[in-house]
Structure 1
Amino acid sequence: MPLITAEALADRLAAGSPTRVLDVRWTLAAPDGREDYLAGHIPGAVYVDLETELADHSVPGRGRHPLPAVADLQDAVRRWGINTGDTVVVYDNWNAAGSARAWWLLTAVGVPDVRILDGGLAAWTSAGGVLESDSPAVSAGDLTLAVTEPEFGTMPTLTPEQVAALGDSGILLDARPPQRYSGAEETVDPVAGHVPGARNLPSTRVLDADGRFLPPEALREVFDEIGAQSEIPVGAYCGSGITAAVLAAAGDTIGRPVALFPGSWSEWITDPQRPIAR
């Protein structure tokens, strides 16, 4: 299970268990979370910039948040101070989006134990956790990633061609809000609509009102209702591959793999020959 509670994290930190905490605060409206990080973060947490460290905007044609190169992630995990044997805990403060992206990427490149702080920063403070505003001095880590090739082979992904074919053999989930899925309102990308055959499962549907993931039984019910049963191949996309990772994390908690279309809608619409449903 990719989740950790605030209480369990506090216990690890108090016991001195090998733990590296990463602050991945990011929202669509405010993608740079550094100011919020400096205003107060979990003690010892290192700030991770999703836009520059968990995406590579120099890659053309792969959507708004292309996956970074594995070599760049190798440099990053050492810069963040991740050592062999560390449990890595990632958190954010907006619907698990930034933390799910970090969890997915780090797991994909072979970091052995990555956990999402369930409920994010709010869960930490609600549990009595203190915050600090100083940036910690971090020594370079020694972790060598298990994946060295450009492909993210340890987590299932989909190409646009596989996305187009998934409707015949499985279930494709669109993690965006209903108004963007339907094409009634598009506030981010230049083209409105969704991939034909996709079913709408907003990423917030797998979270409760406090931003925590639903209990496993409730998650199974959500997946079953949308048709994403355990014996059926399931894929997910969103606008640019960020919030779809929340569905992947939810699937992981109940043993139902969800393949990610990393470029998502923002990549799909780069080819005018690809069909669009509204």
Structure 2
Amino acid sequence: MFGKLLKYEFKSLGKWYLSLYAITGLLSLVIGFWVQTIAYRSEHNARFLENGPAFAESLLLGFTIFAFAIIIIGLLISTFFLVVSRFYKNIYGRQGYLTMTLPVNSHQLILSKLVAALIWYFIASLVILLSGFIIAGISLSQQMPSMADFVNEAWTQFIFLISLYFLDGILFFFSIFINTVLGILLSYFAISLGQLFKDHRVLLAVAFYVGLNFVLGIIQTMTSITSTVNYEEVMVPIRQNPVLLVLNILMALGFYFGTHFIMTKKLNLQ
């Protein structure tokens, strides 16, 4: 049943995200080839090199880049709001009456939405990263020999750093994963707290979310300050604070079980 819940999550949001991904990829290709064309004309046309592209072309290129930036930002923001919106509507909205009749428990409901949210965040980050590589790769294709040397050197340095700081690298990505899970579960818990009240549930959920984020930020900052950090740790930026990492895990568990408690013991559907 857990698999069916995940399938439903992807089916309901798949078309929306696929459209955003397609637009992002298309604009990446357009910008990449456009910049490549400008670079080629600059190298082979002295007049173009002196005067640059026409005003209309510059304006249109600037608008395209701006639209691309808006889409990238919108992709991240929409991912958050759609994930949060689906949790609220499916659990505490009108759809909650149908959701709660499904032959699944609260743990399966929360985990299915959490896993789906993590996958969407991962895909969104991957699309943004690939878009940057597409633009850079196409734009710099005229300098492929030097680009190849740069990539080889960068890869060599990357392998060296991985071998030198392998454990730190694993902890770094694990910390990113925990922070993402923490953020999602915090939003679920804030929504759950908001539905405890009869009126203004959405507004109260937002207020709880902002307040919890503020308190969590203070706790994390104080933990970072009071934790012992030696000179070697300062010289390795990716090295994680183990105390802060454990704290984030405990906070994530607290938000998870807090959400589960409200869903099972304090559920108040309208």
Higher helix share: 2
Q: TM-score, normalised by structure 2?
A: 0.22
Q: TM-score, normalised by structure 1?
A: 0.21
Largest Rg, 1 or 2 = 2
Q: Which structure carries more relative contact order (alpha carbon 8 Å, separation 6+)?
A: 2
Higher strand share: 1
